[in-house]
Amino acid sequence: MWANGNIGPGCESSGSPGSRIINYSVGNYDAAHEINPTSSRGAGQDGETKPNISAPGTAVRSSVPGNGYASYSGTSMASPHVAGAIALLWASSPQLVGDVETTTSLLDGTATDNPDDQCGGTDEDNNVFGEGRLDALALLDAAPRGPVGVVEGTVTDAATGEPLAGVEVEVAGPVERMLSTDGEGAYQALVSAGDYSLTASRFGWLEQSADVTVPEDGTATQDFALEPAQTATVSGTVTDGSGAGFPLYAQVSVAGQSLATFTDPLDGGYALEVPVGEEVRLEAVVQYPGYQVVEQDVLVEADTVVDLSPTVLPDSCTAPGYTASDSVVLAESFDAGVLPDGWEIEDNLDNGQVWAVDEDGGGTGNLTGGEGAFAYVNSDAYGPDGEQDTSLVSPVMDLSGLENPSVSFAQAYIPLGDIADLDVSTDGGESWTTVSTWTTPQEGAEVMVPLPMAQGEADVRLRWHYHEAVWAFFWQVDDIVVGSRSCDPTGDGGYVVGSVSASADGSAVSGAAVTSLDVPEDRGTSRDTPADEGQDDGFYWLFSSVSGEHPFEATARGYGAATQDVDVEQGGAVRADFVLDGGLLELDRVSSRPRSSWVRTPRPST
């Protein structure tokens, strides 16, 4: 049992030894069942899903030297929760002591699924939560007790005879288990002796059931041969839904399943073969930046056309072909070094331990990412006898003329058992609603919080409420902006897509730059596309901010440049492939160098 590491939120940040296949590692989620931003993600060794499971690890009350308590966060706080659950499991079911395979299966099978696809995986097993959130009660309920035996079998495709991996086998009887077949189509479980009903199911195949009796100290074998389900074609287009109307390069998948495809970037078209009779949720993830994920539920009874129109993210407004415009009602950077006019500081404990404004921050300096003076409350500076419950309150603001109001600010927050709330009032401060709470580190972070409840309101106030702080650390806030942002089409330009290859042997060239010679900022980089069978490696895309015919150039280290004129379609997409001179000669030159001149020195282990 290992902590998975605390260098998230980036993918492939799982740390050794937790990242290794042989070990069972744990991620860290908070009291709201949200993954902690610092919790490391997978994949791990050889693509292994990591963490294996997640457990509470945020603001965990812990004993500390000096006969006291403090709150700590990290996967090292989450991992002992799982170890403790295993201790309970083995105490309640002694025959499991030392049976790592069955124990692991029980942990995996009873975890509460927590879908999160940001680092890959499925709804049931992904590289953020693993198999899901630890459920100690369900774990003990599924444990075999008394006389025990084994139920096992193999699941195959009835049409081909090939083993089927990932088939769920539900075991219902004296104990309830949910098993999954391995790469050889096999399943096995230690269960209490008795009569069971088994059901094997996998998306795309017809479900089968059978009854078995598991003898004491014996084995019941039940194989399944699943018939493929009848399918129908779900097809359509994925196009921009915020006004520009571009065809979009996107991955279209059936949520929670491994069934997925990519659109044709020239017209946004896609097609999927989906089992008839299934109600599925289609999900489109645009491969260009700045778009929201779009979902649509579909009952598949025959061939069906489903067009999807993802919209841009207005707050960030990073989608190509769009520009942001802001309406600002309040902007405060605290540069004067004093509390600005109209702002208030509340002392809810009447002890003088409150927010302040200056450049020092109680000895820390400005850690928000902003510059100069800032607002802060420093619990650490007040010492072990201090306690803080204090609010920084904005002036009254009239947001009645804004659509989609929001507040953005830079902050630094280091938690230690305290709570940092952002509250909003629409009646001038008479009543408050919490719109965001932070319990995890936010050092140098810029955040934007939507304020939909304040739309159309004329008496809006905001407060930064720091409370339940007893000799904790601090909260700093700077560069506050309240207003709204719209994200509008620029009215010109379109996408250019294609592939880059070498003239010597036709091989793909990844890492090549494709650039508009008229607008050098319009550029893309070629890359491999192993997940998309419809595109060759060396695929690139770029957005040209100017439509019409003009020259583009492809360059890569060790190759001659290639240039061609491309007629960019306004609001559309065109294809332009590039072939670079060279390839084999450069490869021979590199491979003929002495080994000592190009081998990398291994990094020291940490």
Residue 605 has what pLDDT?
A: 37
Q: What percent of the chain has pLDDT over 90?
A: 75
- 80: helix, coil or strand? helix
262 token code pair: 């990519």
CA torsion through residues 103, 106, 110, 116, sign: positive
- Which helix (H) or strand (E) element contains residue 228? none
407 has which bridge partners? 449, 482
Residue 602 has what pLDDT?
A: 37
Q: What is the mean pLDDT of the chain?
A: 91
Q: Residue 117: which pLDDT band, with cuts at 50, 70 and 90? A: confident
Whether the predicted pLDDT of 416 surpasses 90 = no
How far is the C-alpha of 384 from the C-alpha of 531, rounded, in Å?
Answer: 55
Closest CA to 314 of 461, 547, 483, 494: 483
Residue 583 has what pLDDT?
A: 61
Asked whether 458 and 403 are in contact (CB, 8 A), the reply is: no
Q: Residue 587: which pLDDT band, with cuts at 50, 70 and 90? A: very low
How far is the C-alpha of 14 from the C-alpha of 34, rounded, in Å?
Answer: 18
Asked whether 493 and 473 are in contact (CB, 8 A), the reply is: no
Can you tell me which residue has the tokens 């295993």?
86
Asked whether 398 and 423 are in contact (CB, 8 A), the reply is: no
How far is the C-alpha of 142 from the C-alpha of 106, rounded, in Å?
Answer: 7
Closest CA to 30 of 71, 67, 68, 70: 71
Mean pLDDT of 23-49: 92
How far is the C-alpha of 349 from the C-alpha of 389, rounded, in Å?
Answer: 6
How far is the C-alpha of 145 from the C-alpha of 156, rounded, in Å?
Answer: 31
Residue 589: burial class (beta carbons within 10 Å; 0-12, 13-18, 19+)? exposed
Asked whether 583 and 509 are in contact (CB, 8 A), the reply is: yes
SS3 of the chain: helix, strand, coil, percent, to 5: 10, 40, 50
Whether the predicted pLDDT of 588 surpasses 60 = no
pLDDT tens-place string over residues 44-95: 999 899 999 999 998 888 888 888 888 788 999 999 999 999 999 999 998 8
Closest CA to 142 of 172, 164, 122: 172
Residue 400 has what pLDDT?
A: 94
How far is the C-alpha of 377 from the C-alpha of 408, rounded, in Å?
Answer: 19
Rg (CA), the chain: 29
Q: What is the DSSP letter of 79?
A: H
Asked whether 454 and 435 are in contact (CB, 8 A), the reply is: no
How far is the C-alpha of 529 from the C-alpha of 261, rounded, in Å?
Answer: 12
Torsion of CA 75, 80, 85, 89, to 10 degrees: 130
Residue 473 CA from chain centroid, whole number: 28
Can you tell me which residue has the tokens 């999160």?
116
Q: Do strands 344-347 and 388-393 pair parallel, antiparallel, or not at all (unpaired)?
A: antiparallel
- 302: helix, coil or strand? coil
How far is the C-alpha of 26 from the C-alpha of 105, rounded, in Å?
Answer: 15
How far is the C-alpha of 134 from the C-alpha of 79, rounded, in Å?
Answer: 10
- 303: helix, coil or strand? coil
- 581: helix, coil or strand? coil
pLDDT tens-place string over residues 129-188: 999 999 999 999 989 988 999 999 999 999 999 999 989 999 999 988 888 899 999 999
579 has which bridge partners? 501
pLDDT tens-place string over residues 485-523: 889 999 999 999 999 999 989 999 999 999 999 999 999
Q: Do strands 461-469 and 445-450 pair parallel, antiparallel, or not at all (unpaired)?
A: unpaired
Q: Residue 411: which pLDDT band, with cuts at 50, 70 and 90? A: very high
CB-side neighbour CA atoms (13 Å) of 257: 22
- Which helix (H) or strand (E) element contains residue 262? strand 260-262
pLDDT tens-place string over residues 253-279: 998 788 999 999 999 999 999 999 889
